[in-house]
Amino acid sequence: LDSSEGKTCRQKLALLRQRLREYWRAVLGRRLDKRTAEEQDWMRCRLTCRVWTAFIGFGLSRILSQQLRVLFGGERQYPEIDATAIVMATAGFLLQLMPTLLNPRSLDPWYIVTSLLLNLTFVRSEIDAREAFILLHGLQTIVATLAKRTRCSIFCAGLTSAQILWMSQEQGIQFLEGEQQGPILLIFLIPIVLMCSLRRLLHENAVLKMDLQRRTVEL
């Protein structure tokens, strides 16, 4: 009985390890099937275009609302993020005017360049480091989901974290002290969990699509 129970336990552990390997291959982008990999890359390109189309709407609405406030004698709200809105709208328009600019080979360069541009808009900004953290971390997580290689996401996330730490030191802000510790950790962890889940979902979607195509051809 002991030997049979031990054998069953080893089988369960082996199955668990296999499932974990499959999960991290999906999250990290390590795909075995070439056609599935190509389909997933083109899926990321299409979704990236849609995301930046939404960014156009955000950027234009932000710029228009600021102009209307000034026109009617009001004060601008959070003028520190105006440059960010302009960059988002401009990059989105560029992608709409030149859709061939984005393909599986240029997906990661596009992600890195746009991420660095968004970071640059906060270099000389007087925005609070905590607000910059929420905005930049949220934007990075959205676009990092569609990056082709995980190491590109890690690279840009590292630069963003370094920038936020530098801003907090300049402003004398301690992120992980007092009552701010819990909310800051949640804001940091929740988008990362969502990013991993969405990358897994993209992988499963591409695998399912290619599997359906193969079954259709066989029939």
Residue range 96-103: mean pLDDT, rounded = 89
pLDDT for the residue 94:
92
Question: Does position 26 have pLDDT exceeding 60, yes or no?
Answer: no
Side chain identity, residue 202: L
Question: Does position 181 have pLDDT exceeding 70, yes or no?
Answer: no
Distance CA 11, CA 15 (A): 6
Among the residues of the chain, which ranges form H helices?
2-28, 34-71, 82-97, 107-120, 129-144, 150-171, 181-218
Residue 180 — very low, low, confident or very high, per pLDDT cuts 50/70/90?
Answer: low
Question: Does position 44 have pLDDT exceeding 80, yes or no?
Answer: yes
Half-sphere exposure of 23 (CA within 13 A, CB side): 8
Residue 92 — very low, low, confident or very high, per pLDDT cuts 50/70/90?
Answer: very high
Look up residue 5 and give its two tokens: 């129970």
pLDDT for the residue 1:
45
Distance CA 37, CA 25 (A): 12
More confident of the two residues 121 and 19:
121
Residue 172 — very low, low, confident or very high, per pLDDT cuts 50/70/90?
Answer: confident
Handedness of CA 165, 148, 117, 55 (dihedral sign): negative
pLDDT tens-digit map of 122-142: 887 778 887 888 788 777 777
pLDDT for the residue 36:
77
CB 138 within 8 A of CB 96: no
CB 140 within 8 A of CB 160: yes
Residue 59's nearest CA partner among 123, 129, 118 is: 118
pLDDT for the residue 121:
86
Question: Does position 167 have pLDDT exceeding 50, yes or no?
Answer: yes
CB 69 within 8 A of CB 76: yes
Question: Does position 4 have pLDDT exceeding 50, yes or no?
Answer: yes
Residue 41 — very low, low, confident or very high, per pLDDT cuts 50/70/90?
Answer: confident
pLDDT for the residue 75:
77
Angle separating helix axes 34-71 and 129-144, nearest 10 degrees: 140
- Residue 80: exposure state from Cβ atoms within 10 A (0-12, 13-18, ≥19): middle
Residue range 186-210: mean pLDDT, rounded = 74
Mean pLDDT value across the chain: 79
3-state secondary structure of 113: helix
Q: Residues, the chain, total?
A: 219
